[in-house]
């Protein structure tokens, strides 16, 4: 089976994870286990031994070595869940064959158009067959494309005589909410090093990622009838606006790129009595990351001094750190990935991740784990797409990656 055929089947499953679910619940949504049960059978069909899902929704399997020798055990990892930034229900993918350039009408009934002027990456995909959405949901290639590419590579290995050592495979839940590696059983997985297949453009190789934290700002106001509010009301909504206005206006995702960090207000809800703002905080540089968190703490202290104790409550929680320091002592695994790409006719390009992967936390837990691309674009949104040719090429890269050297 082709990688893209697998993806078209996998996106039928709604696997959106839920950040609001208690951390004691894993996975955060039951639908991930439904997909997991299906994937276990897919793993077995592809040729993986010991394929199973544990009680926390993590899937494991392995391909035994087919030749003698002392080879490293290589791990391949992708995640099952999708982002909540756009709907993951009732995904209706279609294939734009031999894309000739220009705008793509995703949904004529709702006049939803993916415009080439807004998405420069389309220009790199002329002549390719693109899997797109209908403009009302995300596609789910992040990271069901990674799963499809791994299983396609495994199937190719089982049907060929390509020599390889033992290969460990895992599919994780809840990566999109920063919990994907929390219950990952590294000793059981048994890999000497691993790669997540969870990225963007074909050829991108990533071993630097953001330091990341989540921040919840709770504003406790005082409501009273507007006609009697003078010098009495503390409107929590307005105080939330004031908090946000004290963050650097240019340090948001829309104004940053490459190694530049940001504060991202991802959610706000409430009323005059109580308002909650949720942020993610990111920076590649650890010192700048800590400074960003300190700024939020200082704003909290200032507003509490201005409006009264506990008017503003700040809950900061680190999510993951830059894996670079853990990968640099093992650069041979980066060289291995570069060689695999070149052998498959893909020119590697090392780029920083403007986000994170399970591999960041796994690297800090002792399993070096850089990230490989899936070949997709515009993840987490309604304009997500992936070229079929990129998926097939990545399956080829994975075969080259794990074969005997």
Q: Answer whether residue 215 shows pLDDT above 80.
A: yes
Average pLDDT (206-230) is: 94
Same domain, 168 and 245: no
User: In terms of domains, do 153 and 277 share one?
Assistant: no
One of 42, 81, 134, 198 is an active-site residue; which one? 81
> What CATH code is carried by the domain that includes residue 223?
3.30.70.360
Dump the DSSP string for 17-50.
Answer: --TTS-TTSSSSSTHHHHHHHHHHHHHHHHT-EE
Rounded distance, CA 6 to CA 18, Å?
25
Q: Are residues 60 and 170 in the same domain?
A: yes
Stated as kind and residue range, the H or E segment containing 256 is none
In this prediction, residue 199 carries a pLDDT of: 80
From the list 174, 175, 198, 384, the catalytic residue is 175
Shared-domain flag, residues 358 and 384: yes
Query: Where is pLDDT greater, at 332 or 68?
Result: 332
| Number of domains making up the chain | 2
Helix 286-307 with 236-245: angle, nearest 10 deg: 140
- Is residue 175 part of the annotated active site? The answer reads yes
Question: How many CB atoms lie under 10 A from the CB of residue 273?
Answer: 16
Last residue of a domain, one of 253, 287, 320: 320
Same domain, yes or no, for 224 and 202? no
pLDDT digits (tens, 9 = 90+) for 171-190: 999 999 989 999 999 999 99
- Give the model's pLDDT for residue 386: 98
What pLDDT band is residue 319 in, cutting at 50, 70 and 90? confident
CATH code: domain of residue 23: 3.40.630.10
pLDDT, tens digit (0-9, with 9 covering 90-100), for 290-313: 999 999 999 999 999 999 999 999
Q: Could you tell me if 199 and 240 lie in one domain?
A: no
329 and 393 together in one domain: yes
- Mark whether 257 is an active-site residue: no
pLDDT of residue 83: 95
280-287 average pLDDT score: 95
Same domain? 22 vs 139 = yes
Looking at residue 355, its pLDDT comes to: 79
Tell me, yes or no, whether 256 and 369 share the same domain.
no
Query: Can you give the pTM of this predicted structure?
Result: 0.88
Provide CB contacts within 8 A for 31, sequence distance 6+.
Answer: 13, 14, 15, 16
Domain extent for 87:
3-208+322-402
Of how many residues is the chain composed?
A: 405
What confidence tens digit (pLDDT) does each residue in 69-100 have?
Answer: 899 999 999 999 999 999 999 999 999 999 99
In this prediction, residues 228-250 reach a mean pLDDT of: 96
Longest dimension (CA), the chain: 84
pLDDT in tens, 357-393: 889 999 999 999 999 999 999 999 999 999 999 999 9
Q: Are residues 133 and 186 in the same domain?
A: yes
One domain, residues 93 and 155: yes
- Please check whether residues 227 and 289 belong to one and the same domain: yes
**3-class secondary-structure state, position 337:** helix
Residue 134's pLDDT is: 97
Mean pLDDT in the chain?
96
Residue that terminates a domain, selected from 300, 320, 340: 320
Q: Of 289, 320, 351, at which residue does a domain stop? A: 320
Alpha helices (H) in 11-131, listed in sequence order? 31-46
Q: Structure tokens of 107?
A: 């949904």
pLDDT-wise least confident of 94-103, 129-138, 198-207, 389-398: 198-207
Residue 320: pLDDT band with limits 50, 70, 90: confident
């Amino acid at each position: 089976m082709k990688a893209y055929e697998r993806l078209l089947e996998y996106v039928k499953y709604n696997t959106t994870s839920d950040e609001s679910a208690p951390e004691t619940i894993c996975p955060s949504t039951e639908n991930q286990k439904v997909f997991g049960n299906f994937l276990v059978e897919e793993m077995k069909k592809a040729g993986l031994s010991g394929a199973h899902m544990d009680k926390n929704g993590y899937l494991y399997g392995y391909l035994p070595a087919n030749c003698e020798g002392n080879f490293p055990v290589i791990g391949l990892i992708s995640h099952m869940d999708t982002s909540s930034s756009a709907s993951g229900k009732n995904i209706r993918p279609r294939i734009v064959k031999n894309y000739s350039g220009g705008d793509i009408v995703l949904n004529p009934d709702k006049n939803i158009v993916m415009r080439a002027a807004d998405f420069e990456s389309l220009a790199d995909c002329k002549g390719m067959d693109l899997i797109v959405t209908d403009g009302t949901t995300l596609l789910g290639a992040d990271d069901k494309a990674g799963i499809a590419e791994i299983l396609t590579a495994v199937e190719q290995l089982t049907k060929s005589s390509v020599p390889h050592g033992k290969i460990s495979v895992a599919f994780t839940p809840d990566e999109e909410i920063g919990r994907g590696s929390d219950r990952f059983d590294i000793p059981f997985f048994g890999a000497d090093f691993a790669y997540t297949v969870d990225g963007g453009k074909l050829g991108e190789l990533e071993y630097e990622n953001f330091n990341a934290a989540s921040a919840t700002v709770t504003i406790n106001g005082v409501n009273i009838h507007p006609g009697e509010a003078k010098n009495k009301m503390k409107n929590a909504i307005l105080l939330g606006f004031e908090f946000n206005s004290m963050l650097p206006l240019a340090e948001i995702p829309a104004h940053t790129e490459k190694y530049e960090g940001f504060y991202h207000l991802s959610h706000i809800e409430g009323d005059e009595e109580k308002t909650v703002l949720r942020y993610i905080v990111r920076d590649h540089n650890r010192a700048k990351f800590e400074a960003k968190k300190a700024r939020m703490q200082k704003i909290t202290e200032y507003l509490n001094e201005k409006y009264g104790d506990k008017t503003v409550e700040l809950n900061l929680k680190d999510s993951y750190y830059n894996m670079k320091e853990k990968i640099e002592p093992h650069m041979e695994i980066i060289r291995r990935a570069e060689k695999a790409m070149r052998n498959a006719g893909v020119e590697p390009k090392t780029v920083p991740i403007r986000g994170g992967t399970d591999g960041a936390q796994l690297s800090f837990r002792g399993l070096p784990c850089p990230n490989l691309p899936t070949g997709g674009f515009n993840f987490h949104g309604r304009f997500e797409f992936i070229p079929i040719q990129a998926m097939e090429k990545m399956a080829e890269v994975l075969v080259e990656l794990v074969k005997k050297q």
